[in-house]
Amino acid sequence: MRKLHTILAILMMAMTTFTMTSCDEDDDIAYTLDGVWEGNMYMQSSYNGRVYQSSYSLLQFDQDPYRYAQGTGRWIDYYSNAPWDYYASYIDWRVVNGEIQIYSRKEGVTYYITDYRLNGRYFEGYIDDGYNNVYFELVKTASRNWDDYDWDGWHYYDYGYYPAPAKDKQKNIETPKRGVYKK
C-alpha cells in the first residue's frame, strides 16, 4: 500500500510539472521576442484597386511587465513602389501555448505565427492572416536598454525611431488594407 502511495505521488508531481511548463515556455518566448526585429514578412497592401508588396518589415515587441506572455508594440511595412513610403500600425501581441498572436489595431486583424524558430538574434517561421500562410525571416536589431528607458511607456531611446501612421498622399481615398501574400 505504501508503494502505491509513493507511485501516485510521483505521478502527481510529474503531471504538475507538465501542466506548469506551458506558461513558463510562453513567458520565455515572450521574453525572447521583446525588442525590435527587422526583415521581410511578405506583406501586401491593396489600395485604390492595386496591390503593393512590402520590401521590408520592422516589428517592435514591448513585453508587458505584469503579464509576461503578452505586450504591445508597432509593426511597420516599408514599400518602394507604392503611393506611400510605409504602413504602420500599433499592435497587441501574446503567446498562447507556443503560438504567437499579433493583433493589428489599424486593420482589426489577428496574425498567427506558428512553426517558428526563435533565439536572441533570429526569428523565422510562418505567418498566417487567415487566408495565406507564408514563411518569413527576421533579425533582432535592438533590445531594451533599461538605463535609457523613458518611463512614459512608449519611447525607448535605443530604438531610435518614432513611427507615425501611414498617410495618404491624396485626400478622400481609401486607406491601404494589409495582408500576407504568397511567394
pLDDT of 154 above 60: no
pTM of the model: 0.70
138, three cell numbers: 527576421
Instruction: Tell me the pLDDT tens digit for each residue of 12-67.
Output: 666 655 544 446 899 999 999 999 999 999 888 888 889 999 999 999 999 988 88
pLDDT of 162 above 60: no
- What's the full length of the chain, in residues? 183
Largest Cα separation within the chain, whole Å, is 81
pLDDT of 169 above 50: no
pLDDT of 103 above 90: yes
pLDDT of 183 above 70: no
CA–CA distance, 143 with 82 (Å, rounded to integer) = 30
CA–CA distance, 96 with 52 (Å, rounded to integer) = 31
Contact 61, 37 (CB under 8 A): yes
> What is residue 65's predicted lDDT score, i.e. its pLDDT?
85
Q: Which of 7, 177, 27, 182 has the alpha carbon at shortest distance from 97?
A: 27
Where in the chain are the domains?
25-180
User: Across 64-163, where does the E strand assignment appear?
Assistant: 70-78, 86-96, 99-104, 109-118, 122-128, 133-142
Q: Is 133 exposed, middle or buried (0-12, 13-18, 19+ CB in 10 A)?
A: middle
CA–CA distance, 176 with 51 (Å, rounded to integer) = 9
Query: What's the first-to-final CA gap in the chain, in angstroms?
Result: 63
Domain 25-180 classified CATH 2.60.40.4070?
A: no
Q: State the sign of the Cα–Cα–Cα–Cα dihedral 126, 164, 159, 98.
A: negative
